[in-house]
Amino acid sequence: MNVILRGKTKEIVKSMVEEGYANSQSEAVRMAIIDFGQHHLSEVEMVNKKLDRLDQEIKSGKRKLLNADEALGEYAKHLK
């Protein structure tokens, strides 16, 4: 993925590298993303969003929900 930074964001990333917070611009961007995630997205929120997205995919037919026998396939007979 390529990211083009301009203006204030470019200045911040450049400053992070110049001041030694990050070794490269890529590292500075990764650090910023992690920081955002830790401060603005709780793990519970992310799990709930993922579960909601999976529910929508199942309802729309994009994803199939399997029962236990379907999931185990040929190995189901070994459990009986």
Burial class (CB in 10 A: 0-12, 13-18, 19+), 13: buried
Full-model pTM: 0.52
Residue with tokens 């030694």: 20
Tell me the per-residue pLDDT of 24-35, one tens digit each, with 9 for 90 and over.
999 999 999 999
Burial state string for 38-49 with b = 16 or more CB within 10 A and e = fewer than 16? eeeeeeeeeeee
**Domain map (residue ranges) of the chain:** 1-40, 42-80
Tell me the per-residue pLDDT of 23-65, one tens digit each, with 9 for 90 and over.
999 999 999 999 988 887 788 888 999 999 999 999 999 999 9
pLDDT at 16 over 80: yes
